[in-house]
Structure 1
Amino acid sequence: MTRQEKLRHYFQRGIYGITAEHLSVGRKNVDVVRQMLEGGVRIIQYREKKKSMSEKYEECRALRQLTLDYDALFIVNDHPDLCLLSDADGVHLGQDDYPPGAVRKFIGPDRILGLSTHAPGQLTGAHAAGADYAGVGPLYETNTKEDVMAPVGLAYL
């Protein structure tokens, strides 16, 4: 399936699940992701900030296999290298991560590239920067992330 076919097929099917083991009440990412996939989620983003790269690599390998078993996309947050090493479908970047154009060259034309946005100018610039999709937020106040921007609200969508 081409990148564009994946985008059409998976992104129109509902929930985009994001890992956060420190918020999973003692459950491991593999177990939580399996439950998400059993519940119908077909896009999983691996987002772990506090683990070593070797831990992230091992988890990504396991999660990649799970997503293949359930016909789901696997996106790695922040790490284009880990995206390639785990054979993920794509990578998701924040505004302060690597430049999207450089990452596109690194991951190649067949992988998906996502970009977080927090303001209208960032949203309009995401496509021009080479992103296939843009994450928007936060919509509401949150305590799941540190150094978070002010909520943008539903009107932003």
Structure 2
Amino acid sequence: MITPLTRVTLKAFLAAVCSLEESLPDAVQAEIRTVGQTGEYGRLDAIARNCPQLKTAYREARQALNHPSQERNKGGDFRPDKTPEPFNTETENFARNIDGFKDMQALLDKIEAEMTGNNANGSEVPEKIERILTEEDCFAIARQVFP
């Protein structure tokens, strides 16, 4: 049985691994295998935050998972300002980040579908996800399961 917080950590971690360009160092792979074998999924947060290859993607995945709650009550009490904004190149850069956010959200949706699969409340870790965490190269397996 996994807690809701551990579930979020697990989804964000898997999304970060899937978004990598290459495999993780052997020492990190060994830590991940230990977590997969012991079922101490809460440790994945520390692994992701301390691994330079995972850190940024993990943070993006956590933000994507929290995004719906952040948007819930925005703009309810304020009228929109119709004053045009001056030309700003940062707006274009921000738009590119949104595209990356959509890709991350799509990946998180696939992971969520796998986690809930046959288990209606998603309280257990599915066999495919356990396999990702216990294999020699979690990156390669994750890319097969979540292309």
Q: Shared fold (TM-score greater than 0.5)? A: no
TM-score (norm 1): 0.24
Per chain length, whose mean CA-contact separation is higher, i.e. which structure has more relative contact order (CA < 8 Å, sep 6+)? 2
Q: Which structure has the highest helix share of the two?
A: 2
TM-score normalised over the length of structure 2: 0.25
| Structure of larger gyration radius | 2
Structure number with the higher strand fraction is 1
